[in-house]
Amino acid sequence: MKFNFHMHEDLPKLSWCLKMEKDQPLIEVSHGKWVEANARFFIEGTWNGEFDQGDFDHAETVMGSGAAITGDTLVVCTPSHTTECLYSKKKRTLCGFPTLLHLFWKHLDLH
């Protein structure tokens, strides 16, 4: 399992969208320019731990969201508070709300 990152200038700075397919080793992550990303994890936020450890998936407090690869497991982490969550458009695709709005704004019926 491995991340394949794509930074997009036109996405909101702290947004990300994860796409994965069954039995495929690559996890595609499209993200804004303020999302921190490396081979083992990505996150848009902070937590009560050392950044280099990237152990937000074990932290008591997380402000933001992201994902980490631990062995052959993908761990997706949501914020510790209840006012922000992740959304799934369809199976195997996860997005934060700002990303979802950006990607599908032209399809929204505003009337």
pLDDT of residue 104: 60
Phi and psi, residue 46, nearest 5°: -145, 165
Gap between the Cα atoms of 46 and 27, Å rounded: 22
Residue ranges making up the domain that contains 46:
2-106
- Total tally of structural domains belonging to the chain: 1
More confidently predicted of 19 and 92: 19
Let me know if residue 29 belongs to a domain.
Answer: yes
- SS3 letters across 28-45: EEEECCCCEECCCEEEEE
pLDDT digits (tens, 9 = 90+) for 65-100: 999 998 889 998 988 888 877 777 666 555 666 666
Assess if residue 111 is contained within a domain. no
Asked whether residue 82 is assigned to any structural domain, the reply reads yes
Beta bridge partners of 17: 30, 95
Query: Is the whole-model pTM more than 0.75?
Result: yes
